[in-house]
Amino acid sequence: MPQEDPIRSKLRQVLLEDWDPHNASRSEAASRTYDAYLDPLIALIQSEASEDAVMDWLAEREKETMCFPSLGREHLRRVAQKLLRVSTR
């Protein structure tokens, strides 16, 4: 099995530990729940997206997949900051 890209691993970790709207972190079997978001997220970050753009992207994912109303955007600021820091290392 090929070794996974460390950036993908770090982004997955932030999504699971800091965002996790599906509570996937509760189950090891669900640890790859957000993997479909990794490539689009990497592309967004590589496009030099702003913190607000990443927050918007996360909020849109919440709206698409959640069965509850949006909690607004401000709760996403810290997550966006962490995601952007991962990409610059």
What does the pLDDT read at residue 72?
Answer: 76
Per-residue pLDDT tens digits for 34-69: 999 999 999 999 999 999 999 999 999 988 877 656
pLDDT band at 1 (very low <50, low <70, confident <90, very high): very low
Distance, in Å, from the CA atom of 73 to the CA atom of 12, rounded to the nearest integer, reads 20
Q: Give me 53's structure tokens.
A: 């753009």
pTM of the entire structure? 0.85
Amino acid at 8: R
What CA dihedral angle connects 50, 45, 41 and 52, to 10 degrees? 0
What does the pLDDT read at residue 28?
Answer: 86
Q: How many angstroms separate the Cα of 71 from the Cα of each of 30, 50, 58, 62, 80?
A: 23, 20, 11, 9, 15
Q: How many angstroms separate the Cα of 89 from the Cα of each of 11, 30, 34?
A: 12, 27, 21
What does the pLDDT read at residue 88?
Answer: 54
What does the pLDDT read at residue 56?
Answer: 94
